[in-house]
Structure 1
Amino acid sequence: MTTQSIHSLQIGMHWFPERAGGLDRMYYSLVGALPGAGVHVRGVVAGSPKVEQDSGGAIHGFGSASRALPLRLMSARQALRREIRRHRPDVISSHFALYTFPGLDVTRGIPQVSHFQGPWADESFVEGAATLSQRIKHHLEQSVYERSSRLIVLSRAFGDILTKRYAISPERVRVVPGCVDTAQFDPPCTPAEARLRLQLPQGRPIVLAVRRLVRRMGLEDLIDAVKQLKPRHPDVLLLIAGRGRLEAELQQRINDAGLADNVKLLGFVPDAHLPSLYRAATLSVVPTVALEGFGLITVESLSAGTPVLVTPVGGLPEAVAGLSQDLVLPATGADAVADGVDSALSGRLKLPDAQACRDYARNHFDNAVVAKRVAEVYAEAIAAANRGVQ
C-alpha cells in the first residue's frame, strides 16, 4: 500500500460498458479499484462522451473507436496533452500502446508504467494480419515499452515475451495478475437456479467456454473434443459464448460433426447474465493454442465457484496452478481436451469444490488485492525517476 496519494493518468483502449473485451474489462476494473489503494485516477480511452459521465468525470473518451486510425491517434494525442496541462500526473499508466505512442513527446519526463496484456503485433499476425502490419505494430509497441521504467505483466510467461521479443530488461518487469470483481461473479443462486433462470437443461453436464471466436482460442479443438466425448457422455452440452469472425466456420464444423444437440454458439452474452452462466456450468474450459497471457475468464469462472480446465499455454497454468495442478491439461489439441473433460465428468479427476474455487479467486485476484500490488509498482517507478534511474 502506498503511503501517499499517487496521481495517475491511465491510457486505455476502450471503455468496457461500450466495448466488451478482456483488456477493456481489466482496465475498467482496475481504474475502479485503484482509488482504494491510494491512486487517484484520470484517464483517456477511445469512446463516446458518455464515458465521462459513466466514470464520474475520471475517464474521458477522445472519440469513437470506429473512426479512421489517423483521426483516433490525433485525438489521443490531443486528449493526453489536455489532461497533462490540466494536472500533471505523477505517473503515466499505459494499457494500450497504440494510444500511448502518439503522445510520447507530450508525456516525456513523467514516469511511465506499461501494463503488458499481450504482444499486440503477434496476436494480430496469428489472427491473419499482414506481415507489414505486424512490423509496424511491433515498432510502435517497442517504442512505448522502451520508454517505460516499469512494465507490469500478467504472468511470468508474458514476462519472457517482453524480455525476448522486445529486449526489455527483466529488472524492469513486475508480475501482477489480472483482476476481477469477484463478488460480481458470485451470484446469489445455486447452479440449478442459474440453469432455470437461463432456461438451460437441469440434468445435463454443461461445459462452458467464454471466448472471442478467433483462431488462436482453440475452439475448433474444443468442438472436435465434444465429438470424441459424445459416445461416452451422450448428453454433454458445450456452450460457447462470444462473437468473432469464425462464427460461421464454427457452426459449419458443428453441423458437419452432427453435434447440433451437443454444441451451442450463444453469441454475445450480456455482462449481467455472465455470472449466472458460469454458475450454471459444470466446468469451464479454456482451450487456447497460442498467446494467452492470463485468461481472465479463468478467474471469472472460479469466482462463480466453477472449476476450469486450461491448456498449458502462456500464463494459463499460472492462473490455476495455485488451486490445483490437475486443472492444467497436459497438452493442447482435441485429444487432450477430450481426455481432460472426460476425466472431470466421470469423476476420475478430482476437481476443487465451489467454495475452494471462490476463496482462491477472492484471495488472489480480487480487484482490491491486485490494485494494491499495482500501486506498489507505480510508487516504485516514481521513486526510480526521483533517483534519476530507470
Structure 2
Amino acid sequence: MFRKLNILMVNDIIFPDVKGGSGRVVRELSKSLIRKGHNISVLVRRASEILPLREKEEIEICRYSVNYRNNLTFFISSLKNVYVTFNHISKGRKFDLIIFHHPLPALGISLIRRIRKIPKIYIFHSSWPEEFEVKSKKRGVGFFLRRWIERKILKDCSKIVVLSNYSKQKLLDLYGSLRLKVEIIPGGVDIERFKPSDNKNDVRIKLGIPIDKFTLLTIRNLTVRMGLENLIKAMVKVTERYKDILLIIGGRGILESKLKTLTKELGLERYIKFVGLIDEKVLPLYYQAADVFILPSKCLEGFGLVTLEALATGVPVLGTPVGGTIEILRRLDEKFLFKGIDVDSIANLIIESISDADIREGKLREKCRKFVVENYSWERSASELEKVLFSVLNVK
C-alpha cells in the first residue's frame, strides 16, 4: 500500500541557485519524488540576495540567509538562521523524514530538540573536511571542526546513501563504524533534456563552433582538483599530431586567469576556447556539438553527473581513473579511461580517440545513449531512494 510522505531536503545549495553536483541531485531527486506522489520541501542557503526567501513552483524552496563576512560569521549565521527558518516553515506541519546533504545546515536543525524523533537520512556527496583540506592545502582547526560536525551528523542518521562504491569506500575510510548504515544509489540524468542532436553541424553553427574541427569539451568548476592544467598541457602533444582540433572549456572558478595565461604561454590560443559559465538553456547544445567529452579530475570525483549528461547526449567520455568515474566508464568500456591523471596519459588517449573512426564518425552515439538510459535515469534513482525511506519508516 502506497504511503504519501512529507519530506524535507536540507543542503547548502540547490541548482540552479549555485552550479554544483549536490545541488542538482537535490533538485532532480525532489522532482522525481514529487512525481511519485510525495510532498517535498527543500531548505537551502540563500546564495544571493536577489533570490526569494521562499518560493513554490515545481518544488517548495525555503532559503536561509548567511553572513559571508568571514568563516566565523558564516558558521554562526548558518547555524542560527537554518534553526530559525526550520522553526518557521515547520509550524503546523509534520515531516515524516529529513534528508540531509550537507553537515552544516544539518547541525543547525539537529540543535532543535523536537526533531530528534524524526527519522533522518544523509546523502553523502563528498567529505566536507576533505574538500576543505584540498582547497586550503592544510588541516588546522577548520579541518578538525568540520570532521567533528560531519561525524556527529552521520552518526545521528538512520541511513547513509552514497552515489558510488568510491564514495562508500571514502566514507568508510573516515568513519568505518558506520558500515551497516550505508546504501549505494547511483545518481542519474535527465534523459529527455540531454539527448543527441539530429544535426551536429546545425548545433555548431548556432554556437559559433567550427564545423570542420574535432571538438573536445570539458565543463568544470575551474579549481585545482579538476585537473584542467594537465588537460591544457596535454594539448601541446595533441596539437603536434593534429591541427583540426578544438578544446572548449566551460565553467568559472579561481583558476580561470591562470588557465588562460597557461594557454597563452603554451601557444594554444587557436586550439582552446574558454566559454565561461554556460547558460542552462544551451548546455545540452554544447554536449551535442562535441565529439568527445574530457573529465581530467585529479581527485574527489564522487560520481560525476557531467559524465552521464555527455553520454546521454551520445558523446563518448574520456575520464581519469579517479573516484566514481571508474565505475561508470568501466561498465561502458574500459578503453575510455585514461591510464593515469598525468599529462602524457591524457594526451595519448585523446590522440587515440581522434584517430578512432567510430568516434570521428559518431558511431558510438547509440551505445553511449543506451547505456545511460538503461542504467542512470533519475526515476530509477528516486525509486531506489524511496525503498530506503520506506524501510526506515517500516512501511511495507
Scaled to the shorter chain, the TM-score interval is over 0.9
Aligned equivalent of 2:128: 120
Aligned equivalent of 1:279: 288
Quote the offset at 1:27 in angstroms: 1.1
Contact 1:145–1:168 under 8 Å retained in 2 = no
Separation in 2, partners of 1:234, 1:202? 14
Quote the offset at 1:261 in angstroms: 0.6
Separation in 2, partners of 1:195, 1:168? 51
Deviates more, 1:18-27 or 1:153-162: 18-27
Question: TM-score, normalized by length of structure 1?
Answer: 0.93
Give percent identity, aligned residues only.
26
Deviates more, 1:77-86 or 1:255-264: 77-86
Contact 2:31–2:59 under 8 Å retained in 1 = no
Quote the offset at 1:352 in angstroms: 6.7
Whether 1:171 aligns to 2:180 is yes
1:352/1:321 Cα in 2 relative to 1: closer, same or farther (>3 Å)?
farther
Question: TM-score, normalized by length of structure 2?
Answer: 0.91
Equivalent residue runs for 1:1-390 within 5 Å: 3-47=2-46, 50=52, 52-56=54-58, 58-63=60-65, 66=68, 68-69=73-74, 70-106=76-112, 107-128=115-136, 130-131=138-139, 132-186=141-195, 188-347=197-356, 353-383=364-394
Separation in 1, partners of 2:363, 2:106? 41
1:43/1:139 Cα in 2 relative to 1: closer, same or farther (>3 Å)?
same
Separation in 2, partners of 1:331, 1:349? 24
Deviates more, 1:282-291 or 1:58-67: 58-67
Separation in 2, partners of 1:4, 1:65? 39
Separation in 2, partners of 1:244, 1:215? 9
Deviates more, 1:215-224 or 1:64-73: 64-73
Quote the offset at 1:87 in angstroms: 1.9
Separation in 2, partners of 1:65, 1:21? 21
Deviates more, 1:59-68 or 1:322-331: 59-68
Query: 3-state SS of the aligned residue for 1:50?
Result: coil
Quote the offset at 1:78 in angstroms: 1.5
1:22/1:340 Cα in 2 relative to 1: closer, same or farther (>3 Å)?
same
1:79/1:187 Cα in 2 relative to 1: closer, same or farther (>3 Å)?
farther
Instruction: Report the RMSD for the aligned CA atoms in angstroms.
Output: 2.1
Quote the offset at 1:14 in angstroms: 2.0
Separation in 1, partners of 2:231, 2:216? 10
Deviates more, 1:324-333 or 1:195-204: 324-333
Query: 3-state SS of the aligned residue for 1:379?
Result: helix
Query: Per-residue CA shift, 1:262-292, capped at 9, x if unaligned?
Result: 1122111111111000110010010111111
Query: Per-residue CA shift, 1:27-77, capped at 9, x if unaligned?
Result: 111111112234321121112653633535622112268574122221111
Paired amino acid for 1:59: I
Deviates more, 1:29-38 or 1:116-125: 29-38
- Equivalent pairs counted in the alignment come to 384
Paired amino acid for 1:63: S
Q: Which has the higher contact order (CA 8 A, sep 6+)?
A: 1
Paired amino acid for 1:112: K
Paired amino acid for 1:88: K
Separation in 1, partners of 2:196, 2:26? 22
Q: Which runs of 5+ in 1 are unaligned?
A: none
Deviates more, 1:270-279 or 1:33-42: 33-42
Quote the offset at 1:6 in angstroms: 2.1
Contact 1:312–1:330 under 8 Å retained in 2 = yes
Paired amino acid for 2:64: F
Query: 3-state SS of the aligned residue for 2:273?
Result: strand
Query: 3-state SS of the aligned residue for 1:13?
Result: coil
1:54/1:346 Cα in 2 relative to 1: closer, same or farther (>3 Å)?
farther
Contact 1:26–1:180 under 8 Å retained in 2 = no
Contact 1:177–1:370 under 8 Å retained in 2 = yes
Query: 3-state SS of the aligned residue for 2:297?
Result: coil
Quote the offset at 1:362 in angstroms: 2.1
Query: Per-residue CA shift, 1:314-344, capped at 9, x if unaligned?
Result: 1111122222222222211111111111111
Q: Which runs of 5+ in 2 are unaligned?
A: none
